[in-house]
Chain A
Amino acid sequence: MAQNKLGTFPGGLKLAGHKHRSTQEAIQKAPLSKQLILPLQQHIGAASTPIVAVGDKVLKGQKIARADGHVSVYLHAPSSGTVSAIDDQPIPHPSGLSALCITIDTDGEDRWIERAPISDITTLSEHEIRQLIREAGIVGLGGAGFPSYIKLNPGVHHHVETLILNGVECEPYITCDDMLMRERAQGILDGLEIMQYALRVKNTVIAIEDNKPEAIAAMELALASRANIKNTNVVAVPTRYPAGSEKQLIQVVTGKQVPSKGLPLDLGIVCHNIGTTYAIGRAINNGEPLISRIVTVTGKNVKKPGNFETLLGTPMHELLAFCDTDRKADDPFILGGPMMGYNLSGDHLPVTKTANCILVGVDDGAPASTPMPCIRCGDCAEACPASLLPQQLYWHARAKDLEKTQEYNLFDCIECGCCSYVCPSKIPLVHYFRFAKTETMTQQLETQKSDIARVRHENRLSRHELEKQEKEERQRQRKLALAATKAAKEKEAAQSPESGKED
């Protein structure tokens, strides 16, 4: 392990990990569900467009929806069966709303479509690799779900110095990346090779929090056996939440700070999650698109917690039943971790590409308390890893002064929840910031729409004006022409007697 000097980020919290419970057993395969529900939008960007119809037979790994636009990816059938519906179904989302989903009734055969593994990636260009990754439907599996192929394209103006593989997994309870590194380190390195090729990076850092000694050991062991992977180090980062957040991790690993409204790419850095890396390896080397992911199922009320390789679209209640879960109605039932996750509206929702953890009941859950007035203690500002002023943001968000929240860099908030966690008055600060963010985005959208409407209206007015002028012009021409013929006739009439005389 190369221990070069590490940087640090401001704020942050030392949290109890609660990771022990779900790391006792190896990763298991979740049972095949009779029905798989696949939301068409499981990523940031535009929803995919279905390319199958109800009643179609599909094979495992077959494309069922295509990417719509640049920021979008393909979607595949996770098992063989028949498309039984394409309609609105409840999806895992903080709103609890429904969205368009493709439902597949599985036939139990789990029959694969013909796969096309690539044995030698050097026969392909970087562009072709990225397209394959896009067609394999791969998005960031750490939680955000940004299409990975875009993050593997540095563009012509940038040069990627460092690739950071994010195996930090800093949020309590979640262990899917930890278990993946322990058990499938070679598979992760397969994906890493492809990423290094596509990005032409100089150095790679595999960052793992130091509370995961088994994962660090497994990755180092695997790395030692791969002489062809050069300039790559495993780095243990100190356990402090939220070290796994992209910008904070970059600060820890490189000491550099990603500027506000900037991208890591501006610093010559690209960050990818460990699970995404593994999925890229499977997609290229085995020709298997992203049809499953590892989901941590844990919490106070789960009797057999662990990590489960689950087909996308599997209804959560089946997974919970498999883990022998006793979910009570008033238990916290969270997708993601206790800090950044959100409450789920029910257990019939499907597992999606970004579902890293299902948490049923927490150990040290404080009873729901009524928020008290802010006492201006400033603890939130000290805990903020993005150096923001949560207290100021809170006042302005509360007063719905959206412009002021922007002045305090609302959109640099990573919603990590540190401020809410330390608040002695139990004010749901992050909720205020999320509220202010969606309000601002809606307002911007409305302004855009009204700008378009104004232009369309002005165009219409000027077109009418033009039509009116043309009409007047035509009338004038006609009048002139009429006058001319009249004059000509008169002239003719005046001349004709004379000419008659002459004759």
Chain B
Amino acid sequence: MLTAIIAITLLALVLGLVLGYASIKFKVEGDPIADQIDKLLPQTQCGQCSFPGCRPYAEAIAAGEADINRCPPGGEATIEALADLLEVEAKPLDDECGVEKPKTLAVIDEDRCIGCTLCIQACPVDAILGSAKHMHTVIADECTGCELCLPPCPVDCIDMVETEVNPNTWRWPDPARIDIKVGDKNGAE
């Protein structure tokens, strides 16, 4: 009886020390779940999810304070990826936040721009170039299509244009859509 108590106490002591050591030695900095979620978000920083950017939204999801269906730019694909990561059921996009649209790019009508710098201040990724009373322009490669530059513009000179497909960005169409039609058990939609 006494041996058993001593043995268990010793075991608990040793294991407790090991666990204590491990928790110090292998301490994880930051929030790994939020990081993983942030990686899946499109980084448009548009705020349509009602959070001020992708990172705050990721943190809210990680904390269980926000749903996974609040990102219109990411759309269905992002929701599925998030559901897969968090092992929850995927659900349709919350239409309170907006609708999934094809990818667009902001283009400034340079004849109408008055050089007020308001759009520059609004751009979350510093993709607009210009200075006071000088024409502004969008760095097309950096624009995420978040539309945040539209409301501040006093002369309404920014348009969102759909990005055109060229032979380099073209994708082979999904053959499953034109494929198997008769008596198919595996692939019928």
Q: Taking beta carbons and an 8 Å cutoff, which residues of A are in contact with B?
A: 41, 91, 93-95, 97, 99, 370-374, 398, 400, 427-428, 431-432, 434-435, 437-439, 442, 446, 449-454, 456-460
Query: Smallest CB–CB gap between A169 and chain B, Å?
Result: 26
Q: Is A457 within 8 A of B124, CB to CB?
A: yes
Q: Is B176 within 8 A of A398, CB to CB?
A: yes
User: Which of the residues A432, A437, A451, A456 comes within 8 Å of B175, measured between beta carbons?
Assistant: A432
Chain B neighbourhood of A400, CB < 8 A: 174
* Sample of 12 further A-B pairs with CB below 8 A, known A94-B172, A370-B180, A457-B55: A97-B170, A99-B166, A372-B180, A373-B180, A373-B185, A427-B179, A435-B172, A442-B171, A449-B144, A457-B43, A457-B124, A460-B126
Chain B neighbourhood of A454, CB < 8 A: 38, 43, 54-55
Chain B neighbourhood of A452, CB < 8 A: 142
Chain A neighbourhood of B43, CB < 8 A: 450-451, 453-454, 457
Q: Is B126 within 8 A of A435, CB to CB?
A: no
Chain A neighbourhood of B64, CB < 8 A: none
Residue tally, chain B, CB below 8 Å to A: 36
Most buried by B among A94, A428, A438, A453: A453
Chain A neighbourhood of B38, CB < 8 A: 454
Most buried by A among B126, B167, B186: B167
Q: How distant is the Cα of A456 from the Cα of B123 in the complex, in angstroms?
A: 11
B173: CB under 8 A from chain A?
Answer: yes
User: Which of the residues B166, B172, B181 comes within 8 Å of A438, measured between beta carbons?
Assistant: B172
B165: CB under 8 A from chain A?
Answer: yes
Q: What are 26 inter-chain pairs, A to B, with CB distance below 8 A?
A: A41-B168, A95-B167, A97-B166, A370-B181, A370-B182, A371-B179, A373-B184, A373-B185, A374-B186, A428-B175, A428-B179, A431-B172, A431-B175, A432-B175, A435-B175, A438-B170, A442-B169, A442-B171, A450-B41, A453-B45, A457-B43, A457-B45, A457-B53, A457-B54, A457-B124, A459-B126
Query: Smallest CB–CB gap between A433 and chain B, Å?
Result: 9
Query: Smallest CB–CB gap between B119 and chain A, Å?
Result: 14
Chain A neighbourhood of B181, CB < 8 A: 370
Most buried by A among B38, B44, B179, B184: B179
A435's nearest neighbour on chain B, judged by CB, is: B172
> In the complex where A97-B167, A99-B167, A460-B126 touch, is A434 in contact with B180 (Cβ < 8 A)?
no
Q: How distant is the Cα of A446 from the Cα of B42 in the complex, in angstroms?
A: 8
Q: Is B169 within 8 A of A456, CB to CB?
A: no
Chain B neighbourhood of A437, CB < 8 A: 172
Chain B neighbourhood of A435, CB < 8 A: 171-175
Chain B neighbourhood of A449, CB < 8 A: 144
Most buried by A among B38, B45, B175, B179: B175
Contact with A along B38-71 (1 / 0, CB 8 A): 1001111100000001110000000000000000
Chain A neighbourhood of B183, CB < 8 A: 373
The DSSP consensus for interface residues of chain A is helix
Query: Smallest CB–CB gap between A355 and chain B, Å?
Result: 15
Query: Smallest CB–CB gap between A14 and chain B, Å?
Result: 27
B188's nearest neighbour on chain A, judged by CB, is: A373
Query: Smallest CB–CB gap between B35 and chain A, Å?
Result: 11
Query: Smallest CB–CB gap between A481 and chain B, Å?
Result: 30
B73's nearest neighbour on chain A, judged by CB, is: A450
Contact with A along B144-184 (1 / 0, CB 8 A): 10000000000000000000011111111111100111111
Q: Is A450 within 8 A of B176, CB to CB?
A: no
User: Which of the residues A93, A434, A438, A453 comes within 8 Å of B125, measured between beta carbons?
Assistant: A453
Chain A neighbourhood of B127, CB < 8 A: 456
B20: CB under 8 A from chain A?
Answer: no
Chain B neighbourhood of A427, CB < 8 A: 179-180
Q: Is A97 within 8 A of B165, CB to CB?
A: yes
A454's nearest neighbour on chain B, judged by CB, is: B43
User: Which of the residues A41, A94, A372, A456 comes within 8 Å of B182, measured between beta carbons?
Assistant: A372
Q: How distant is the Cα of A449 from the Cα of B146 in the complex, in angstroms?
A: 14
B103's nearest neighbour on chain A, judged by CB, is: A446
> In the complex where A94-B172, A457-B53, A457-B125 touch, is A373 in contact with B187 (Cβ < 8 A)?
yes
Most buried by A among B124, B127, B171, B185: B171
Q: How distant is the Cα of A370 from the Cα of B179 in the complex, in angstroms?
A: 7
Query: Smallest CB–CB gap between B69 and chain A, Å?
Result: 19
Chain A neighbourhood of B54, CB < 8 A: 454, 457
Chain B neighbourhood of A432, CB < 8 A: 175-176
Query: Smallest CB–CB gap between B189 and chain A, Å?
Result: 12
Query: Smallest CB–CB gap between A134 and chain B, Å?
Result: 21
Most buried by B among A41, A370, A451, A459: A370
Chain B neighbourhood of A434, CB < 8 A: 172
Contact with A along B16-54 (1 / 0, CB 8 A): 000000000000000000000010011111000000011
Chain B neighbourhood of A438, CB < 8 A: 170-172
Q: How distant is the Cα of A432 from the Cα of B173 in the complex, in angstroms?
A: 9
Q: How distant is the Cα of A439 from the Cα of B45 in the complex, in angstroms?
A: 24
> In the complex where A97-B170, A442-B171 touch, is A453 in contact with B182 (Cβ < 8 A)?
no
Q: How distant is the Cα of A338 from the Cα of B148 in the complex, in angstroms?
A: 50
Chain B neighbourhood of A439, CB < 8 A: 171
Q: Is A450 within 8 A of B125, CB to CB?
A: no
Q: How distant is the Cα of A328 from the Cα of B187 in the complex, in angstroms?
A: 34
Query: Smallest CB–CB gap between A424 and chain B, Å?
Result: 14
Q: How distant is the Cα of A437 from the Cα of B127 in the complex, in angstroms?
A: 30
Query: Smallest CB–CB gap between A47 and chain B, Å?
Result: 8
Q: How distant is the Cα of A39 from the Cα of B126 in the complex, in angstroms?
A: 34
> In the complex where A373-B180, A431-B175, A432-B175 touch, is A453 in contact with B170 (Cβ < 8 A)?
no
A429's nearest neighbour on chain B, judged by CB, is: B175
Chain B neighbourhood of A371, CB < 8 A: 179-180
Chain B neighbourhood of A453, CB < 8 A: 43-45, 125, 142, 144
A439's nearest neighbour on chain B, judged by CB, is: B171
Q: How distant is the Cα of A386 from the Cα of B183 in the complex, in angstroms?
A: 32
A93's nearest neighbour on chain B, judged by CB, is: B167
Q: Is A456 within 8 A of B126, CB to CB?
A: yes
Query: Smallest CB–CB gap between A162 and chain B, Å?
Result: 34
Interchain residue pairs A-B with the least CB separation, the first 5: A450-B43, A453-B43, A438-B171, A95-B170, A435-B172
Chain B neighbourhood of A451, CB < 8 A: 43
Query: Smallest CB–CB gap between B45 and chain A, Å?
Result: 5
